[in-house]
């Protein structure tokens, strides 16, 4: 670890906190010295334990935006923090490369409209090459974003979900499923996107934003009861095309159904809906003439009306259950007519109802969801385009009651936004429904940190539907099942080796585990000697990424790192990666165990106004662009500080530049203040330790108080990080830096540092020992959040003063609270002191007196014990309050009732403040006002606090002010670290570089020479 430090590294802290510049320098430092790689190598060999990790792979089909950045910042925070705690984390990248999103983008790029055109015009081979090229383009963007953000993820060890070696290991999950009888082929109703021409998993159907308001027909129609004169079932639907595949009507067995007389017809519907439906249909004259239970209607046949135009339906009609009434509990009697028509080819519940009764599934659709020949007159037409024709056919037959339109929420494809169609298709399924209890049990053991995402995830899992994993696409992991053309025998192959051994012809050199190459491999059937060909599917891309815990590691690594310690992804991944990881792991291991011990779901990131970021709104903030102008550290801090990780975050650039920037800037300047003073007095951290200061009895109560507060900050910050309450961890750090160190401690000790008297040198060194310890610890606490700033401070302050320190802040350990430094009594006592000071501040505010203006006297009225406590710290309280004298009393003294006194109080303390200022106090106040401007000028001109100025010149004060100021020129010289201060009448009197300042209503001129 003591490798040679590369030279030419800038070791100065510039006067201003300029994060962009600093981050560039630190990045170069890291890269030149290979800090990231060496840190990981070091921890792999020297650790207190392992903290497993698998990267949730970003899909390489988009530019990284701030929402992604938030997730990556959380991951990196966790990595750096755990590494500092001594754990080895395999923080290795991974990329999700295959699947529909990539295909759709490449289709667009190639200008093809659908899959058929793609295969005919482009061909699968070229298409695969284009997909690979497309992902590489995005890969460069992601790597650059990680680099700029300072994310220490190992890019060299990244996994790629399209590589053969990954796919082979992914197949092992299928092999395990196959062995357990959990991988099956079968008809099933799936959500199908006519645009993408593939089925979707039930998880995909529920995606954010996939429900859109659409307009559909609202249709009331009648089916005539067979062999009746004028009796009809009244039915409602929004999908008229499903009447083409209608097989049964369903009623609720326990509900009461009515025969309603309308003109000379009798309509059958559920009784409780008669009135509202009649109202909706604007039928005023009607009469309920008979009622009966749903159960009594069971088995009633009805005349299916399209037998003449759909010959297949005429054939199916011969089946005993087809076109009869069945009883089903799922029938909702609170909407529509309580009579539901069932199309097992187009609905999940309908499908089950048919399967139960052995009713055939009629699903005459091709891949573009056009009706096939079996649908008679409707053949060749896209399903949803037949809605109008169906309505017309009903009208012709006198069966149409009313056709209107309705607007309702309807699921659309999350990628292409086509309306989904439910279709019975032959697909491959992982029968996760069979092992659902185990899956839920596994999920219940996981730590989720927050209740709402946990509930969301568990209730989704409890639905327990089978997982349709086959996709009729190209760019994906091939389903490794071959089927005999002759006898239907099937075999699953789970490795390249096995595949090569079985292949009838030796595969070519450029062979890879993708279409079209794999489709050209045929086997010989072991049962009948026939030819076996591959089932033409690829796998759901979620299966591909969900295989990462096993597929990305070796067997040995898998044993070590899985179940992983901690994973985090967006809340949308409850239905995505978190789900597929879990299902696959339970299949692979057969255990009720998730592949992760803890999972943090992050809220999504929106724009400043709380709107979703989208291309159409043009409000997407790209990471690489953002970080050209804004600091990575400030962004990182902001993302963690602004809200809880589970909350939706409104990302606001204005807010980013305010408080978060201020916090980091304050930390920077505190370090600079410390360094300059410490260097001036030749502070040596190895010699002037806290132990030394204690032994020398040089530590005073402010130092002890600050050290105590530091311990509280360390434990609070650590506990909050453990609970993933990052925002609270950040505000703990924020409070410590801004309030405890900057607003309280530094003002209490500043005066002691002004002098260079050798007699008080040890006291100054004790203050430096305190600041060294406190600020260095804070720098470490900030490292997982603001790695650039922490590294810069570490190199330019701490390693500068102590070159024996490790070569990077990342090699430091995570601070642990030291109980012996904690002093709760002292903290409580200081709390009282701060209360008095804040009462003085509010009294000053009400009298419009600046804090810089000294006042003569205050009285503290409080119980005796409180008074005596404050008395112990009197000197510091007066310093902070900027008051010359204090008296203590249990009752307000008589004289404070006179003019010139103001009072503020907060039980049990009352503060009385004398606000009258004589010439001396006014003069001193004026001096301080001017001194502040001189300090600003010093800084502007690049002087460091320890530089001693020759002369400070002040011009154009009025007579009165000159008179008031004169007695304080000596004090002022000391305060601004100048040998002397000279007053001038007109600024023309001296040829100097004057700087203009506003002093109350007037102008004043200052020069430094
Ligand atoms: Zn689609
Ligand atoms: Zn065979």
- Interval between CA 506 and ligand 2 midpoint (Å): 21
> Model confidence over 89-124: pLDDT tens digits?
999 999 999 998 898 889 889 988 777 788 889 999
- Which ligand number lies closest to the CA of residue 199? 1
Confidence of residue 513 (pLDDT cuts 50, 70, 90): very high
- Residue 971: partners with Cβ closer than 8 Å, 6 or more residues away: 924, 927
Cβ atoms 95, 158 nearer than 8 A: yes
Alpha helices (runs of H) in 118-227, residue ranges in sequence order: 124-149, 164-179, 202-205
Confidence of residue 11 (pLDDT cuts 50, 70, 90): low
Weakest mean pLDDT among 71-85, 259-273, 410-424, 845-859: 410-424
The predicted structure's pLDDT at residue 5: 40
> Model confidence over 156-181: pLDDT tens digits?
999 999 999 999 999 999 999 999 99
- Interval between CA 412 and ligand 1 midpoint (Å): 8
- Which ligand number lies closest to the CA of residue 198? 1
Assess whether pLDDT exceeds 80 at residue 44. Answer: yes
- The counts of H helices and E strands in the chain are 36, 36
Confidence of residue 190 (pLDDT cuts 50, 70, 90): confident
The predicted structure's pLDDT at residue 7: 37
The predicted structure's pLDDT at residue 114: 74
Taking residues 478-489, what's their average pLDDT?
97
- Interval between CA 144 and ligand 2 midpoint (Å): 53
- Per the prediction, the chain carries an average pLDDT of 93
Taking residues 652-671, what's their average pLDDT?
97
Report the C-alpha gap between 911 and 893 in whole angstroms.
Answer: 12
- Taking a 5 Å cut-off on Cβ, the residues next to ion ligand 2 are 484, 486-487, 489, 525, 527-528, 530
> Model confidence over 931-980: pLDDT tens digits?
989 988 988 888 877 788 999 999 999 899 999 999 999 999 988 889 99
Taking residues 436-461, what's their average pLDDT?
97
Measured at the CA of 685, the angle between CA 683 and CA 689, to 5 degrees, comes to 105
**Residue corresponding to tokens 């091709």:** 366
The predicted structure's pLDDT at residue 10: 56
Of 500, 499, 191, nearest to 348 by C-alpha is 191
Confidence of residue 999 (pLDDT cuts 50, 70, 90): confident
Assess whether pLDDT exceeds 60 at residue 4. Answer: no
Output the DSSP codes for 865-879. Answer: HHHHHHHHTHHHHHH
- Interval between CA 194 and ligand 1 midpoint (Å): 7
Taking residues 765-791, what's their average pLDDT?
98
- Which ligand number lies closest to the CA of residue 523? 2
**Residue corresponding to tokens 């992604």:** 68
Assess whether pLDDT exceeds 80 at residue 140. Answer: yes
- Interval between CA 482 and ligand 2 midpoint (Å): 11
Report the C-alpha gap between 36 and 791 in whole angstroms.
Answer: 12
The predicted structure's pLDDT at residue 208: 65
Cβ atoms 99, 59 nearer than 8 A: yes
Taking residues 235-242, what's their average pLDDT?
95
Any idea what DSSP says for residue 557? Answer: H
- Interval between CA 490 and ligand 2 midpoint (Å): 8
Strand pairing of 531-534 and 523-524? antiparallel
Taking residues 629-641, what's their average pLDDT?
98
**Residue corresponding to tokens 């305060």:** 975
Taking residues 841-851, what's their average pLDDT?
93
Taking residues 193-198, what's their average pLDDT?
84
Confidence of residue 8 (pLDDT cuts 50, 70, 90): very low
Asked if omega into 908 is within 30° of 0 (cis), the reply is yes
Any idea what DSSP says for residue 243? Answer: G
The predicted structure's pLDDT at residue 117: 83
Cβ atoms 69, 75 nearer than 8 A: no
The predicted structure's pLDDT at residue 119: 85
Cβ atoms 495, 486 nearer than 8 A: no
- Interval between CA 381 and ligand 1 midpoint (Å): 19
Helix, strand, coil shares, percent, the chain, to 5:
45, 20, 35
Q: What is the distance in angstroms between the CA of the first residue and the CA of the last residue of the chain?
A: 48
The predicted structure's pLDDT at residue 6: 39
- Which ligand number lies closest to the CA of residue 207? 1
Query: 220 in helix, strand or coil?
Result: strand
Whole-number percent of the chain with pLDDT over 90: 83
- Interval between CA 530 and ligand 2 midpoint (Å): 5
- Which ligand number lies closest to the CA of residue 114? 1
- Which ligand number lies closest to the CA of residue 530? 2
The predicted structure's pLDDT at residue 370: 93
> Model confidence over 567-610: pLDDT tens digits?
999 999 999 999 999 999 999 999 999 999 999 999 999 999 99
- Interval between CA 536 and ligand 2 midpoint (Å): 18
- Which ligand number lies closest to the CA of residue 528? 2
Weakest mean pLDDT among 201-205, 356-360, 847-851: 201-205
- Interval between CA 417 and ligand 1 midpoint (Å): 6
- Interval between CA 369 and ligand 1 midpoint (Å): 13
- Interval between CA 527 and ligand 2 midpoint (Å): 5
Assess whether pLDDT exceeds 50 at residue 480. Answer: yes
The predicted structure's pLDDT at residue 733: 98
Measured at the CA of 703, the angle between CA 701 and CA 706, to 5 degrees, comes to 105
- Which ligand number lies closest to the CA of residue 485? 2
Output the DSSP codes for 62-86. Answer: S--BHHHHHHHHHHHHHHHHHHHTT
The predicted structure's pLDDT at residue 312: 96
Q: Is the dihedral of CA 227, 230, 231, 234 positive or negative?
A: positive
Taking residues 327-350, what's their average pLDDT?
94
Query: 421 in helix, strand or coil?
Result: strand
Q: Residues 142, 148, 153, 158: what is their CA dihedral angle, to the nearest 10 degrees?
A: 30
- Interval between CA 505 and ligand 2 midpoint (Å): 18
Q: How far is CA 99 from CA 162, 196, 465, in A?
A: 10, 11, 22
> Model confidence over 714-761: pLDDT tens digits?
999 999 999 999 999 999 999 999 999 999 999 999 889 877 789 999
Q: Count Cβ neighbours within 10 Å for each residue of 129-153 and write b for 16 or more, e otherwise.
A: ebbbebbeebbebbbebbbbbbbbb
Long-range contacts of 839-844 (CB under 8 A, 24+ apart): 839/904, 839/905, 839/906, 839/909, 839/910, 839/911, 840/881, 840/883, 840/904, 840/911, 840/913, 841/881, 842/904, 843/902, 843/903, 843/904, 843/911, 843/913, 843/915, 844/913, 844/915
Query: 593 in helix, strand or coil?
Result: coil
* CB-count exposure of residue 761 (10 Å: 0-12, 13-18, 19+): middle
- Which ligand number lies closest to the CA of residue 100? 1
Whole-number percent of the chain with pLDDT over 70: 99
- Interval between CA 685 and ligand 2 midpoint (Å): 81
The predicted structure's pLDDT at residue 941: 87
Assess whether pLDDT exceeds 60 at residue 2. Answer: no
């Amino acid at each position: 670890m003591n490798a040679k430090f590369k030279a030419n590294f800038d070791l100065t802290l510039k006067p201003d906190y300029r994060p962009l510049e600093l981050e560039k320098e630190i990045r170069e430092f890291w890269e030149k010295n290979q800090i990231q790689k060496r840190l990981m190598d070091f921890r792999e060999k020297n650790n207190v334990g392992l903290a497993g990790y698998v990267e949730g792979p970003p899909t390489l089909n988009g530019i990284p935006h701030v929402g992604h950045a938030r997730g990556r910042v959380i991951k990196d925070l966790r990595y750096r923090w755990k590494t500092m705690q001594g754990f080895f984390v395999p923080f290795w990248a991974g990329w999700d490369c295959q699947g529909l999103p990539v295909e759709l983008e490449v289709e667009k790029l190639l200008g093809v409209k659908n899959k058929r055109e793609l295969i005919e015009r482009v061909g699968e081979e070229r298409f695969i090459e284009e997909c690979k090229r497309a992902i590489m383009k995005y890969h460069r963007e992601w790597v650059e974003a990680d680099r700029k953000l300072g994310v220490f993820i190992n890019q060299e060890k990244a996994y790629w979900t399209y590589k053969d070696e990954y796919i082979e290991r992914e197949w092992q999950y299928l092999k395990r499923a196959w062995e357990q009888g959990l991988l099956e082929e079968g008809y099933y109703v799936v959500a199908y996107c006519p645009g993408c021409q593939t089925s979707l998993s039930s998880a995909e159907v529920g995606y954010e934003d996939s429900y859109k308001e659409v307009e559909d027909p609202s249709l009331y129609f009648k089916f005539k009861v067979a062999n009746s004169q004028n009796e009809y079932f009244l039915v409602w639907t929004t999908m008229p095309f499903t009447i083409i595949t209608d097989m049964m009507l369903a009623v609720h067995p326990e509900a009461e159904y009515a025969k309603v007389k309308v003109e000379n017809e009798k309509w059958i519907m559920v009784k409780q809906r008669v009135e509202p439906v009649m109202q909706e249909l604007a039928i005023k004259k009607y009469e309920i003439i008979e009622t009966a239970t749903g159960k009594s209607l069971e088995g009633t046949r009805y005349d299916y009306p399209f037998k003449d135009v759909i010959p297949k339906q005429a054939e199916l009609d011969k089946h005993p259950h087809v076109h009869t009434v069945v009883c089903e509990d799922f029938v909702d009697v609170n909407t529509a007519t309580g009579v539901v028509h069932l199309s097992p080819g187009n609905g999940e519940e309908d499908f089950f109802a048919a399967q139960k009764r052995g009713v055939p599934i009629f699903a005459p659709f091709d891949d573009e969801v056009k009706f096939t020949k079996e649908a008679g007159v409707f053949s060749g037409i896209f399903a949803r385009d037949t809605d109008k024709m169906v309505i017309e056919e009903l009208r012709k037959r006198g069966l149409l009651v009313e056709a209107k339109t309705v607007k309702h929420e309807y699921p659309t494809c999350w990628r292409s936004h086509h309306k989904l169609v439910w279709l019975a298709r032959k697909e491959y399924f992982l029968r996760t429904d069979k092992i659902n209890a185990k899956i839920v049990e596994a999920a219940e053991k996981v730590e989720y940190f927050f209740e709402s995402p946990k509930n969301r995830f568990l209730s989704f899992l409890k639905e327990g539907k089978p997982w349709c994993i086959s996709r009729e696409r190209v760019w994906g992991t091939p389903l490794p099942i071959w089927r005999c053309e002759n006898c239907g025998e099937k075999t699953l192959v789970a490795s390249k080796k096995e595949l090569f051994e079985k292949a009838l012809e030796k595969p070519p050199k450029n062979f890879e585990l993708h279409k079209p190459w794999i489709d050209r491999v045929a086997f010989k059937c072991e049962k009948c000697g026939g030819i076996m060909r591959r089932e033409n599917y690829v796998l759901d891309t979620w299966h591909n990424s969900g295989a990462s815990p096993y597929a990305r590691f070796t067997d040995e690594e898998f044993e070590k790192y899985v179940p992983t310690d901690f994973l985090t992804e967006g809340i949308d991944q409850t239905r995505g990666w978190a789900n597929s990881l879990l299902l696959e792991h339970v299949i692979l291991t057969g255990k009720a165990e998730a592949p992760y011990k803890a999972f943090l779901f992050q809220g999504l990131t929106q724009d400043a106004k709380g709107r979703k970021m989208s291309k159409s709104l043009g409000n997407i903030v790209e990471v690489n662009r953002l970080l050209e102008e804004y600091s990575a550290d400030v962004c990182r801090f902001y993302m963690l500080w602004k809200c809880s990780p589970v909350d939706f975050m409104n990302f606001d650039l204005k807010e980013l530049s305010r408080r978060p920037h201020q916090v980091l800037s304050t930390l920077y300047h505190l370090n600079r203040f410390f360094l300059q003073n410490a260097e001036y007095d030749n502070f040596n951290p190895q010699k002037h330790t806290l132990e030394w200061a204690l032994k020398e009895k040089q530590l005073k109560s402010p130092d002890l108080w600050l050290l105590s507060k530091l311990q509280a900050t360390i434990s609070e910050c650590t506990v909050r990080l453990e609970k993933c309450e990052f925002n609270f961890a950040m505000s703990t750090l924020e409070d410590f830096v801004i309030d405890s160190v900057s607003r309280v401690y530094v003002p209490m000790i500043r005066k002691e540092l002004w002098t260079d008297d050798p007699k008080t040198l040890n006291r100054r060194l004790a203050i430096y020992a305190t600041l060294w310890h406190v600020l260095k610890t804070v720098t470490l606490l900030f490292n997982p959040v603001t790695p650039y700033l922490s590294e810069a401070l570490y190199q330019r302050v701490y390693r500068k003063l102590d070159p024996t320190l490790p070569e990077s802040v990342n090699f430091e350990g995570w601070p642990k609270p030291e109980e012996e430094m904690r002093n709760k009594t002292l903290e409580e006592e200081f709390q009282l002191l701060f209360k008095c000071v804040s009462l003085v501040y509010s009294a000053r505010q009400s009298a419009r007196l600046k804090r810089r203006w000294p006042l003569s006297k205050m009285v503290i009225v409080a119980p005796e014990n409180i008074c005596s406590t404050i008395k112990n710290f009197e000197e510091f309280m007066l310093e902070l309050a900027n008051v010359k004298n204090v008296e203590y009393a249990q009752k307000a003294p008589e004289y404070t009732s006179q003019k010139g006194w103001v009072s503020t109080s907060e039980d049990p303390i009352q503060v009385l403040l004398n606000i009258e200022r004589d010439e001396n106090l006014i003069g001193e106040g004026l001096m301080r006002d001017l001194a502040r401007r001189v300090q600003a000028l010093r800084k502007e001109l690049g002087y460091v606090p320890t530089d001693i100025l020759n002369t400070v010149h002040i011009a154009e004060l009025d007579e009165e002010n000159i008179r008031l100021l004169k007695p304080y020129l000596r004090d002022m010289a000391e305060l601004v670290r100048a040998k002397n201060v000279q007053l001038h009448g007109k600024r023309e009197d001296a040829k100097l570089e004057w700087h203009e300042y506003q002093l109350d209503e007037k102008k004043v001129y200052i020069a430094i020479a």
